[in-house]
């Protein structure tokens, strides 16, 4: 990423909200790794989205395709069937919504239904039409670090130096986005915890949040319930193999990420994360006094 683009990004970052945003996860799927099947019916999904906002979510991140390790993709028609009615209902209710999709066709329908942000875990690599769509619509977009589809991504978890490599590969995605006509202020970056990364890689990236922020863009962290957090679940009768028993560790990551100045955290359990980002904001507001 050249110096001019870094300078532009630093300016754009000043326009972003100062309090870390909480994205509440709404998986409208039967097979997501921690909550698949719980909200895959329309009424249940809409009710859950409303509940997430009552609990403190700033946005509801609606996804219709599991990206857990080993997941096989669904077709576009099925993804649309799952998410668009739910997104439309939530937007009609005044809820801020992001769509978690790698398909430009799904993103376009979601934006038409009122979504304000596209959360593309492939960083625009899975569908060549995604970056032009974001440029044309002016929507906000999360570009995540990604190397391969979920079914095979674990085979790509090899790095010379994970922080440097992720920074470099994210910078290439930024260059591609800007070349497509996307403005710097539309972009948020995500280091892609759990995607083609070992537990050690994930911890290294969390320890390098200042280095990631030096890229000049807002940062989204999605650590919630992921398997690398099992390293911290060995107390109180909790089961490290149960995603739900990783909620305490997930909330701890949210607190630390918010304190490090990230733009947002993507979480399954909203109340403790919402409390964490508000505490971090209060401490930041009185810092130095």
Q: How many angstroms from the chain centroid is the CA of residue 273?
A: 14
DSSP code of 128? Answer: T
Question: Dihedral sign, CA of 55, 58, 63, 66?
Answer: negative
Q: Are 102 and 95 in contact (CB under 8 A)?
A: no
Catalytic residue among 13, 103, 225, 226: 226
In the three-class reduction of DSSP (H, G, I as helix; E, B as strand; rest coil), residue 267 is classed as strand
266 catalytic? Reply is: yes
* Residue 35 to residue 38: CA distance in whole angstroms: 6
Whole-angstrom CA distances from 151 to 70, 100, 102, 128 are 4, 18, 15, 20
* Residue 23 to residue 166: CA distance in whole angstroms: 23
Catalytic residue among 266, 278, 282, 289: 266
Q: How many angstroms from the chain centroid is the CA of residue 172?
A: 19
* Residue 190 to residue 136: CA distance in whole angstroms: 22
Encoded tokens for 283: 């401490």
* Residue 266 to residue 277: CA distance in whole angstroms: 12
Please, what's the largest Cα pairwise distance for the chain? 55
In the three-class reduction of DSSP (H, G, I as helix; E, B as strand; rest coil), residue 235 is classed as coil
226 catalytic? Reply is: yes
Among residues 85, 95, 18, which one has the least CA distance to residue 45?
Answer: 85
Residue 22: partners with Cβ closer than 8 Å, 6 or more residues away:
56, 57, 58, 59, 254, 264, 265, 267, 270, 273, 274, 277
Question: Which residues are part of the catalytic machinery?
Answer: 226, 266
């Amino acid at each position: 990423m050249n110096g001019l683009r870094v300078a532009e990004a630093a300016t754009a970052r000043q326009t972003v909200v100062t309090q870390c945003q909480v994205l509440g996860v709404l998986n409208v799927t039967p097979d997501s790794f921690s909550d698949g099947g719980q909200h895959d019916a329309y009424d249940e999904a809409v009710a859950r989205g409303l509940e997430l906002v009552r609990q403190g979510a700033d946005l509801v991140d609606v996804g219709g395709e599991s990206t857990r390790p080993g997941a096989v993709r669904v077709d576009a028609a099925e993804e649309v069937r799952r998410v668009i009615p739910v997104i439309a209902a939530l937007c009609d209710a005044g809820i801020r919504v992001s769509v978690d999709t790698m398909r430009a066709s799904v993103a376009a329908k979601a934006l038409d239904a009122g979504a304000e942000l596209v959360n593309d875990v492939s960083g625009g690599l899975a569908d060549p039409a995604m970056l032009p769509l974001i440029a044309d619509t002016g929507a906000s977009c999360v570009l995540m670090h990604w190397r391969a589809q979920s079914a095979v991504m674990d085979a790509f978890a090899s790095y010379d130096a994970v922080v440097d490599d992720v920074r470099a590969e994210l910078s290439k995605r930024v260059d591609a986005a800007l070349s497509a006509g996307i403005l710097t202020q539309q972009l948020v970056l995500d280091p892609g915890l759990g995607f083609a990364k070992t537990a050690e890689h994930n911890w290294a990236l969390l320890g390098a949040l200042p280095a990631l922020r030096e890229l000049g863009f807002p940062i989204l962290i999605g650590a919630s319930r992921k398997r690398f957090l099992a390293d911290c679940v060995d107390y109180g009768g909790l089961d490290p193999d149960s995603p739900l028993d990783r909620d305490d560790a997930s909330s701890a990551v949210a607190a630390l990420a918010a304190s490090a100045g990230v733009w947002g955290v993507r979480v399954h359990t909203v109340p403790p994360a919402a409390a964490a980002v508000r505490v971090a904001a209060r401490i930041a507001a009185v810092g130095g006094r």
